[in-house]
Amino acid sequence: MVLNFLMDLLHTVLVNALVAAVPAVGFALLFNVPVQALPYVACGGAIARGLRTLFVQGAGMSIELSTLLAVSLFGMLGVWWARRLNAHPKVFTVAAIIPMIPGVPAYTSLMAILEISHQGFTPELWGIAVENGLKTFLLVGAMSVGLAAPGLLLYRGKPIV
């Protein structure tokens, strides 16, 4: 029973990780990332999405919190890669987290708003629009804060205290 759960979890994490690597490289090419950094971007996209899937499926965390933790941990890895390869961390991190952008909740929210404008207000449509809009806002905010956190913590000019 536990072994089946672990095997299913591993399969889900690996599939999500591999699927996220492809658009990460595509967006890296779109952003003119150097060719020698593309394997790191692919690895980063896979790691970030894999971590988020692991936190959601394996630990039962909310998707918002798991996104914040996964992007923060990946941001630290991006800083380490940048120091090793003498590049800016955003070269590795920005394109790698783009596959985690919440497209379905954003689309659902906008479609509910369009339905409200065409059919009139109903509490059900308003609930769908607000719920998905807030989820989109929180996920994008978690990605932004998670991506900025390593830089804020590691590149401070003076101590926090």
- pLDDT for 54 equals 97
Tell me the C-alpha distance between 81 and 88, whole Å.
Answer: 9
Amino acid of residue 40? Y
Tell me the C-alpha distance between 2 and 24, whole Å.
Answer: 33
Q: Is residue 159 part of a domain?
A: no
Q: Per-residue pLDDT for the chain (161 aa), expressed as one digit of tens each?
A: 899 999 999 999 999 999 999 999 999 999 999 999 999 999 999 999 999 999 999 999 999 999 999 999 999 999 999 999 999 999 989 999 999 999 999 999 999 999 999 999 999 999 999 999 999 999 999 999 999 998 888 877 766 66
The pair of three-digit structure tokens given for residue 146, joined into one six-digit string: 């998670």
- pLDDT for 155 equals 77
Q: Is residue 60 part of a domain?
A: yes
- pLDDT for 161 equals 65
Tell me the C-alpha distance between 149 and 146, whole Å.
Answer: 5
Q: Is residue 87 part of a domain?
A: yes
Question: What is the count of structural domains for the chain?
Answer: 1
- Closest by Cα among 143, 16, 4 to 70: 143
Q: Is residue 53 part of a domain?
A: yes
CA distances from 65 to 15, 31, 37, 142 (A): 21, 28, 28, 7
Tell me the C-alpha distance between 93 and 86, whole Å.
Answer: 14
Which of the 8 DSSP states describes residue 31? T
- pLDDT for 1 equals 86
Q: Can you give the residue range of the structural domain that contains 122?
A: 2-154
- pLDDT for 7 equals 96
- pLDDT for 160 equals 64
Length of the chain: 161
- For 83, the 3-state DSSP assignment is helix
Tell me the C-alpha distance between 32 and 40, whole Å.
Answer: 14
Cβ proximity of 5 and 60 under 8 Å: no
Q: Is residue 149 part of a domain?
A: yes
Q: Is residue 52 part of a domain?
A: yes
- Closest by Cα among 72, 9, 86, 100 to 40: 86
pTM of the predicted structure, to 2 decimals: 0.89
- pLDDT for 103 equals 94
Q: Is residue 160 part of a domain?
A: no
Q: Is residue 67 part of a domain?
A: yes
- For 122, the 3-state DSSP assignment is coil
